Chains A and B, each alone.
Chain A
Amino acid sequence: MPSPRLHVLPWSQPLIHAVVAWLARDWAGEGPLDLTGALVVMPTGQSERRLREALASHAANHNQAVFPPRVVMPAELAMLNAPASGVATKSELLLAWVQTLLDADFDALREVFPKDPPQRNFAWAARLANEFIRLQSTLTENGLRMADVPSRAGENFPEFARWQQLGELEAACEAVLAQHSLYDPQAVKIAFARNPAPPNGINRIIVAGTPDPLSLAIKVLAAYAESGLSVDVLVSGPSEGGEAAALFDGWGRPVPETWATRPFSPKDFAQRVRLCADPSAQADAIVACALGYGTPGGKLDVGVADAEVLPSLENGLARAGVPAFNPEGRPLRGGSLHTLLAALAELVMREPSFASVAALLRCPDVLAWLGGSPVKLLTALDDLHSDHLPATLAAARAKARPGPLANALEEINRLRALLLVGVFPENVRTVLTEIFRERKFDQARPEDLRAIEAAQAWGGVLTELETAVKRFPGLAAVDVWELALRAFGDSQRFDDKPEGSVELQGWLELLWDDVPHLIVAGMNDGRVPDAVVGDAFLPEGLRERLGLKTNAARFARDAYLLHALEAVRAEGRGRLDLLVGKTSAAGDPLRPSRLLLQCADADLPARVAFLFSPAEAARPTPAWMRTWKLKPRTDAKIETLSVTSFRDYLKCPFRFYLKRGLKMEAVDPHKAELDAMDFGTLCHAALEAMGKPDSPVRDCTDANVLRGFLLEELDRTARAIFGDYPALPLVVQLESARQRLSKVADVQAQLRADGWVIERTEWSLDIVIGGMPVRGKIDRIDRNELTGEVRVIDYKTSDTPVNPVDAHVRGPKRTEDVDALPEFARFSLGGEDAIWVDLQLPLYLEAVAAEYGHAVACGYFNLPKAAGETGVAIWTGYDADVQAAAMRCAEGVVAVVQARRFWPPTELPVEHDDFGVLFPQGAEASVEWPEAEVRT
């Protein structure tokens, strides 16, 4: 094989400078630096960028400019002026595979599919297709197709039959492509590589600093060399080492034997290598260093060998205000456009869920498009959710009150219609132009520029899919969306490089970086070098047989790279630091890179002891400390009290203030079913109707008729609130309500038979205590037509029956210091110390006294879970003294509320405290409250 000319450039000089010098070696600085006709092979896009810049500034030194060479990466070598047309695009290839897999006859493919796939649908096929495509491109490294594997895997190859069948699948897929007169791109590459047409306009080839070109690329280069093109290979290596052949093969690939055993022993190894507890510890070290430089740009760059470190690092630098640049760019997945598109995709579902609609409405661009006040809109949205629990867009539209929200939902529905009727991707374009109609993007503003790039990327995806979908018709809308979203999400977005930024680059880029101080984070085994151990298709054993990249080759390459990175910065020319993570973010233990253990046997034990010693202790935990005390508004007005609010005050004055004064009420976006209160309201509605003066069953003693009536009422209300098709949990809850009400029917029938007549229902009471209006609603008032007794009744829908006394009064707790309680809350009940916890029923009695006098009983009508316990529980032994005590308490509460005494709070166990989140380490300690000083 015609061997190219190999040039070992001294690695004491930055590779980039050496290469530029070499390329410009016969350029005197007269006229432009003209490299037209040269083809330079380089490992990565970023290295290409560096070369162009370096050439430009080299020429600039002579006040000249450059006609750059053509630059390609090894993988592209096999595509130079290959026919552009007729080659399947990514999506076309994918869809071809999908069709192949969906049509495949598994019984004929048992070696590949010993079991039938879990389900045979697009989603499954697409996932597997992607894996097969990845598999194919790996094989292409060495110009192989699946079908070649059996013959190339050599003697006693255990999976011979399996790969034959894979080959058949591949053939089937190619056939599908052929139907649309398309070629498999990988196949095209391989074919091209067999006898590559020399690239036109190219008269010489330079392979620069590319330690592991693909075998396929080598084939192509060899062929070119054959055809008389001059091929020069530039690598940086030890100048003293002499014997280049021992270090690199003809193509500049590090010789494994040499490099895998070459000791890596820089002086002060222990100062260069640092063990860090976890990713954020690594980030901290780097940030500290960057700050140490003040302006680190051009002095310090970072190699990120373990992608896990990147987020911590980027956030860390941002926090420290150090400009950073990641040439890798970042995927558009998670960008705002992607989120918007994902939400739109949900609209084409059979029944878009309310959740997805809510997500869509929270997209900034949608809010902007809808105009008006986002606050009003989103508030309405949450109210709609908590009041009506709509499960779907339809349900939401049915229930939304006229106003911005209703209009918004209609708009969304319109978009949906557009998406459902039109043809892809026209309909998508229509919808997006609709949403962004008003928006102007200013190319001068970076964030707008980002948006523009994203939009263009999306445009690209659509155009590609457009043709693909035309070729493979009959795809479901959801599936097309799925494809589009994935393609879009995977495409990268590149920020432009901020002035004087620290560059964060992948391991393979570092060879081309000429910065004096380089820190490499994530020098861990499995990261550098990455290693394949075990695979469903290409385990290491098979890779070796097939001449694909092996662990050994990777190791040699990375060993070489590490040496090169060190050498260029050795002898005070600069500095290389290596960070070794001890654990991953998820807490998995990590091991140091094997590269760091390359040393003379004599040094090994010490190295091991050093590299496997515990990492520097992670940050010490400071004792808990209060950031600040909360300063609630103290001026919230409380001009009326509801009957139930007395309970709140007696429980805790401060929380009473938060609830009744500041009206602190949380929104639960995850609400999926009725809460206790909704449930009560629902039952009440039916019960009220039953007792209304005009109710047909007011005097009914026939349980069945009552039952019929109650359930009828219940259904009506439920339908009115939740529509015809409430979600499952509601169905169950309504069921529960039915059971409870039908039991009520029995009890009620009996009550009526016993002479109890419902006098009033939902009677709004309106009394004034100590000048404070007190409001409330009495569920019902009964009078017994036989005995004339009157009683005030409150419905209780809690799961277990409630006894009126226990609900209102408690005894002192063992440890409790009763005297600490306000005097008005205490009284004596049957000679025992008693404490008020609630005043509901007594206040009712107070309210009815005017009309019914004082000889009125009170109690609860319990509708508990256990049907057996349904019934009226009367407060036995209730007398004038109790009433008096209760009123004293009520007046007491009113007085302190008027005096605005809301302090101190009661300390409650967090799990029973709706306000717990405000009170870490105790309520009283958490809040700054004027009275606090007064007290102490």
Chain B
Amino acid sequence: MKKLGHKMILASAGSGKTYALTNRFVQLLACGAPPERIVALTFTRKAAGEFFDEILNKLARAALDPKEAQRIGANIGEPQLMAADFLRMLRAMVTAMHRLSLGTLDSFFAKVVRAFPLELGLGGDFEILQEHGVQLERQRVLRQLFARAGGELDEAQVDFIEAFKRATFGAEEKRLASRLDRFIDEHQNVFLDAPDADAWGNPQRIWPEGSAWLGKPGDTNGADEVIRRWAAGACANEKQQKRWDDFLEAMDVWAPGAAMAKSMDYVMVKALEVWAVLGEEDVELIIERKKQTVPPEIGAVLKVLVSEVFRGELTRRLEMTQGIHTVLSGYEAIYHDLVRRAGKLTFADVQRLLMPEAGAPALSAGGEGEDGRLFVDWRLDAKYDHWLLDEFQDTSHGQWSVLRNLIDEAVQDPEGRRSLFYVGDVKQAIYAWRGGDPRLFREIFDHYNEVAPGTIEEGRLDKSWRSGPVIVETVNRVFGDAAVLARMLPTVAAERWTREWRDHESAKPQLGGQVVWLHGADEHERAALTLKLLSEINPLERGLSVAVLVQSNDKATWLADYLRREGGLPAVAASDLHVCMDNPLTTAVLALLQAAAHPGDRFAWEQVRMTPLASLVESGEGLTREVLRQVHEEGFARTVETWLRRLEPLVGADDSFSRERARQLTEAAQRFDETGGRDVAEFVQFAERHVVRDAETATVVRVMTIHKSKGLGFDVVVLPDLEGNALATPRRDGLAVQRAEDREVEWVLDMPPKLFHEHDEVLAAHMAGAEADAAYEKLCLFYVATTRAKRAMYLITKPLSEKSTSANFPRLLTETLGAAGPTETARVGAWACDAVFAEGDGKWFEAISVVGESNTEMQCDRGILVLPEIDPVARHPARTPSGTKTGMVTGAVLFGATSASAANFGTAVHQAFSAVEWGGMTPELLALWNAAGLGDPVVAEARACLDSEGLGSVFGHERGFEVWRERMFEIVLDGAWITGVFDRVVLKRDSQGRVVAVTVYDFKTDRLVAGGEAVVLARYAGQMDVYRRAAARLAGLSEAFVRCVLVLTSLRSTVEVMGAGAD
């Protein structure tokens, strides 16, 4: 096939990233690459699906229309391609569909692990744990951890408690379970990245050259006395005096790890300002706005006090960090045994299994690699020649390390028959907190190009196919102003950003639109402005797509509802809705379940009684019995369904919302039932957590988080939630993790407060890094927000208060777009508003009217699928002869040993008799029985019967008789279809060979006491009647000539069952 180089594409927002990917894919096909040899990996399942659909549609368009073929051909640098060529590719794609490797990284990894379970140290196949599963497993693990196998705490538990105390020192916890839950949420990933205790709170790792603060302890004995005495003399006034007293007092109370009193902080800061000379010479401190001279001897003492505070704090933090590690490893140990080893893995586990850092063998496309590698080609029925990686800025280092070797092989392929193509936008790296590692982008590029310059070709896409000129210009102004960014962001961040920045340009210069920036004092006002804007433009009627972007899910839900309620707009929160908990109907049903399973729950009971359910529930006892029974018999879906149906008439006729929720509750129950769980409390908890994403339809106002808007474009975008603290604010979730160049964890520390870390070089350096990363990520977030709009964008922020200096996004807007307050009157349609900033055409939308579009000539039939005129096929209800039998079975009989063995015994005896044609016991017969492996008791029983007087007639030999043995029949009686088996039927034929009499024998092996005949007669009357009629019809004579005889083996006797006619 034709060679295709390796490519890195930096694609700015809206510059057609997916377009580039699909083009690459088509290009590969065009160059003769078999589709199944192309691996294309995305992050979300949705993206994967769209990607695939897009490729096929592209090929289809080209195959259909020569012009399109030419256009696409030109785009991918293969102008010679004809429609026919695309058709060939299309056929190739659909034929290979099931073999394509085109999906998410997660699913790709899972596929690999499935192929090598034993090689990767798994016990065998595994299942992927979904979120609810993870929750349940965690609870199981904790229960195990907490349980005390009667008696003393075991060693592990003692250590655990010790560790837990250290981990929560100073703020000793009175809630283990809940705190632990938090620990796991916050730190589990860090732990799994660095399970080795050595990295946790280890001073040697953190301060290889030792820390100034952790030198040898100074002597603080009587120090405070010294200072108090000095202060008494040296203070100019009470205020100063008080400062020192308070300081000493606070010092006295303060314990490491705990918060620091203002009064203590005050003096510490002063001391640290002059730290270098403190104790060396006279130093001047400004205490209470008055100079105060601290002589060397006092300075020295103060210095010791402060140093000891530092030592105390740092030591404590180190201990806490170690404690946290021990706690987590205690939990993890059990989790590993109980969950992972049992073959239950999360996607994260799957990935970790494959990571070389975690000791996994490298993956290889096979061929002659050295041993110890996993050769994916054979087990996966695949050859991976070409790699396409999407959204590369979100790839984590772990993910990369799994793929690295496979991709190395591709890139270093001597004949260059294989290729790498990765695309993304480092300006949209908003998933760093989830492990996304934008720096990889360059590193990989440099890595390969150092070895052989030009290996990877760099491409850039800065032309926006999404946004019109007004939007693009604004974006350029805000994010392209190197000077301002340098002023506002940590240098590293500013440089990283500016290095990759290129001014964008709009590929749709004619596209009209507008950018307006408004001020709104509080969230209600901003919501109102949003509504005002939307009602002015009313995009939906114009067929324009519209989105309102916010920073949190709760905000999205709230705002969507505001717009629905206040403005009657069809607004939808594209966020996770707790559909089982946000309405009176489903919560009532859940309360009912709770009340049934936990009758002592007065809350649930009263809640039920406040709802129409009250009228449906007679007694608590009844409810508990009914609900538990139904749940255990049929599961939650059916149970919930039952109650919802009873409530149906009480739901307003026009209330489609509640009905939708009802349906969603049933669906949630279905999902839960799949776990096999039958515990009501567990289900209620599941339902509480169960979330659903609202349906995404073009014809609604979509309210969503900026994160979720990534990759989407809308004609109109409103941004009413841009507030927030300084861009350079690191996420403060617990532990600081210092990583080396190769991302390996160097050290982990529960970072002490600012005062401490800013006065320690190592820690300060780490924090600087963290702040830079935070600032960069935040900037990316707002870049994403402002690049969603195609035509118009409306920013609504709180006015900056004079004093606020916080370098947040509104500040960035102010500095780049100028203007600190409303300056101009902008027009949005008819509405004249006070804008802080406005560009473009206020009437941009008035020209636009609705445009209906139809994409394919084949249209899906939406009607109900019913055949006008058809006759049903006849079907008979099925019955068995014994199906007509009735009667009670007691539990004792049912679950006792006898019933099972009796059944077997019965069948065996029947089997024995089926071998008997005529006459009594013979050696051959015996041999036959033993060969068939019938047990001795059976043989004995059968033999006894054959020998017995009472049953002579059954097997007795007579001329001119014919016998059916174990003979099956099918018959339709009274419209029912019956399948039966005759045990033994004896037919008498006359001289002409016509059947003149029939006797049906049916063997009953029930253990009976003498005189049990009556019982049996009653029990089997119905069955025998069926046999009589069947025999009559099969033998072709009237029922009058059919005798039915029950053969009671245990009594060695027979009873005749009289037909309905005879008596």
Give every chain B residue within 8 A of A631 (Cβ-Cβ).
610-611
Contact partner of B143 (CB less than 8 A), chosen from A353, A577, A632, A658, is A353
Contact with A along B888-909 (1 / 0, CB 8 A): 1111101111011101100000
A56 and B876 form a contact (CB under 8 A)? yes
Contact with A along B152-181 (1 / 0, CB 8 A): 110001001100110000111111111000
Residue of B nearest to A119 (CB): B341
Give every chain A residue within 8 A of B878 (Cβ-Cβ).
49, 53, 496-497
Contact partner of B603 (CB less than 8 A), chosen from A442, A444, A623, A666, is A666
CA distance A739 to B165 in the complex (A): 11
CA distance A359 to B683 in the complex (A): 13
Give every chain B residue within 8 A of A363 (Cβ-Cβ).
628, 632
Contact partner of A666 (CB less than 8 A), chosen from B151, B561, B604, B932, is B604
Residue of A nearest to B685 (CB): A670
A617 and B856 form a contact (CB under 8 A)? no
Q: Indicate whether B288 reaches chain A with its CB closer than 8 angstroms.
A: no
Give every chain A residue within 8 A of B170 (Cβ-Cβ).
866
Contact partner of A869 (CB less than 8 A), chosen from B253, B867, B903, is B253
Known: A57-B972, A378-B598. 11 other contacts (CB 8 A): A68-B970, A289-B864, A318-B638, A382-B600, A391-B147, A429-B896, A536-B118, A539-B381, A594-B94, A632-B606, A729-B146
Given A441-B894, A597-B94, A618-B695, A269-B858 contact (CB < 8 Å):
yes
Give every chain A residue within 8 A of B611 (Cβ-Cβ).
628, 630-631
Q: Indicate whether B435 reaches chain A with its CB closer than 8 angstroms.
A: no
Question: Within B242-272, which residues are at the interface with A (CB < 8 Å)?
Answer: 253-255, 258
Give every chain B residue within 8 A of A515 (Cβ-Cβ).
872-873
Give every chain A residue within 8 A of B972 (Cβ-Cβ).
56-57, 59-60, 65
Number of B residues with CB within 8 Å of any CB on chain A? 197
A67 and B967 form a contact (CB under 8 A)? yes
CA distance A555 to B561 in the complex (A): 49
Q: Indicate whether A266 reaches chain B with its CB closer than 8 angstroms.
A: no
Question: Within B598-640, which residues are at the interface with A (CB < 8 Å)?
Answer: 598-604, 606-607, 609-612, 620-621, 624-625, 628-629, 632-633, 635, 637-638
CA distance A632 to B609 in the complex (A): 7
Give every chain B residue within 8 A of A760 (Cβ-Cβ).
none
Give every chain A residue within 8 A of B381 (Cβ-Cβ).
533-534, 539-541
B341 and A124 form a contact (CB under 8 A)? yes
B679 and A359 form a contact (CB under 8 A)? yes
CA distance A339 to B680 in the complex (A): 13
CA distance A456 to B873 in the complex (A): 35
Contact with B along A249-280 (1 / 0, CB 8 A): 00000000000000000000111011100001
Given A56-B972, A436-B891, A606-B857, A335-B633 contact (CB < 8 Å):
yes
A605 and B90 form a contact (CB under 8 A)? yes
Contact partner of B678 (CB less than 8 A), chosen from A315, A334, A536, is A334
B49 and A583 form a contact (CB under 8 A)? yes
CA distance A379 to B595 in the complex (A): 10
Q: Indicate whether A499 reaches chain B with its CB closer than 8 angstroms.
A: yes
CA distance A450 to B148 in the complex (A): 40
A114 and B118 form a contact (CB under 8 A)? yes
CA distance A21 to B883 in the complex (A): 29
Number of A residues with CB within 8 Å of any CB on chain B? 202
B123 and A128 form a contact (CB under 8 A)? yes
CA distance A664 to B606 in the complex (A): 7
CA distance A526 to B111 in the complex (A): 15
Question: Within A127-160, which residues are at the interface with B (CB < 8 Å)?
Answer: 127-128, 131, 158-159
Within the complex, the shortest CB–CB distance from A38 to chain B, in Å, comes to: 12
Given A318-B641, A375-B621, A589-B657 contact (CB < 8 Å):
no
Within the complex, the shortest CB–CB distance from A625 to chain B, in Å, comes to: 4
Q: Indicate whether A371 reaches chain B with its CB closer than 8 angstroms.
A: no
Residue of B nearest to A440 (CB): B888
CA distance A731 to B650 in the complex (A): 50
A319 and B600 form a contact (CB under 8 A)? no
Given A64-B1033, A67-B1034, A574-B870, A670-B150 contact (CB < 8 Å):
no
CA distance A733 to B168 in the complex (A): 13
A664 and B602 form a contact (CB under 8 A)? yes
Give every chain B residue within 8 A of A732 (Cβ-Cβ).
161, 164-165, 173-174, 176
Given A315-B638, A604-B94, A628-B378 contact (CB < 8 Å):
no
Residue of B nearest to A671 (CB): B177
Give every chain B residue within 8 A of A733 (Cβ-Cβ).
174-176
Give every chain A residue within 8 A of B98 (Cβ-Cβ).
525-526, 531, 533, 551, 594
Q: Indicate whether B673 reaches chain A with its CB closer than 8 angstroms.
A: yes
Question: Within B650-688, which residues are at the interface with A (CB < 8 Å)?
Answer: 650-652, 655-658, 660, 663, 666-667, 670-671, 673-674, 676, 678-681, 685
Within the complex, the shortest CB–CB distance from B961 to chain A, in Å, comes to: 18
A378 and B600 form a contact (CB under 8 A)? yes
CA distance A615 to B896 in the complex (A): 55
Give every chain A residue within 8 A of B660 (Cβ-Cβ).
619, 621-622
Contact partner of A63 (CB less than 8 A), chosen from B175, B587, B1033, is B1033
Within the complex, the shortest CB–CB distance from B923 to chain A, in Å, comes to: 20
A362 and B597 form a contact (CB under 8 A)? yes
CA distance A67 to B695 in the complex (A): 58
Contact partner of A627 (CB less than 8 A), chosen from B119, B658, B874, B978, is B658
Of A128, A269, A383, A726, the most chain B CB neighbours within 10 A belong to A128
Contact with A along B331-352 (1 / 0, CB 8 A): 0000001001111000000000
Residue of B nearest to A674 (CB): B174
Of A60, A616, A631, the most chain B CB neighbours within 10 A belong to A60
Residue of B nearest to A394 (CB): B150
CA distance A80 to B378 in the complex (A): 38
Give every chain B residue within 8 A of A118 (Cβ-Cβ).
121-123, 340-341
Question: Within A291-349, which residues are at the interface with B (CB < 8 Å)?
Answer: 292-293, 295, 297-299, 311-312, 315, 318-319, 333-336, 339-340
CA distance A262 to B88 in the complex (A): 17
CA distance A705 to B962 in the complex (A): 104
Segment of B60-68, B200-208, B440-448, B835-843 engaged in the interface with chain A: B60-68
Within the complex, the shortest CB–CB distance from B135 to chain A, in Å, comes to: 11
CA distance A287 to B485 in the complex (A): 60
Q: Indicate whether A785 reaches chain B with its CB closer than 8 angstroms.
A: no
A297 and B606 form a contact (CB under 8 A)? no
CA distance A692 to B498 in the complex (A): 74
Give every chain A residue within 8 A of B609 (Cβ-Cβ).
632-633
Q: Indicate whether B805 reaches chain A with its CB closer than 8 angstroms.
A: no
Q: Indicate whether B1015 reaches chain A with its CB closer than 8 angstroms.
A: no
21 contacts between A and B (CB under 8 A): A56-B970, A128-B123, A158-B375, A311-B670, A364-B625, A391-B148, A392-B150, A438-B891, A444-B886, A496-B878, A536-B118, A574-B867, A594-B98, A601-B91, A621-B700, A624-B564, A625-B656, A632-B609, A679-B174, A729-B177, A731-B153
Question: Within A622-657, which residues are at the interface with B (CB < 8 Å)?
Answer: 622-633
B676 and A499 form a contact (CB under 8 A)? no
Contact with B along A598-611 (1 / 0, CB 8 A): 00010011111110
Contact partner of A606 (CB less than 8 A), chosen from B625, B856, B933, is B856
Q: Indicate whether A865 reaches chain B with its CB closer than 8 angstroms.
A: yes
B970 and A59 form a contact (CB under 8 A)? yes
Q: Indicate whether B1017 reaches chain A with its CB closer than 8 angstroms.
A: no
Give every chain B residue within 8 A of A353 (Cβ-Cβ).
143, 147
Q: Indicate whether B831 reaches chain A with its CB closer than 8 angstroms.
A: no
Given A536-B125, A627-B652, A312-B606 contact (CB < 8 Å):
no
Contact partner of A514 (CB less than 8 A), chosen from B118, B855, B873, is B873
Contact partner of A375 (CB less than 8 A), chosen from B620, B637, B673, B885, is B620
A288 and B120 form a contact (CB under 8 A)? no
A536 and B679 form a contact (CB under 8 A)? no
CA distance A575 to B866 in the complex (A): 9
Give every chain A residue within 8 A of B337 (Cβ-Cβ).
119
B933 and A158 form a contact (CB under 8 A)? no
Residue of A nearest to B119 (CB): A114
A312 and B681 form a contact (CB under 8 A)? no
CA distance A65 to B1028 in the complex (A): 13
A624 and B582 form a contact (CB under 8 A)? yes
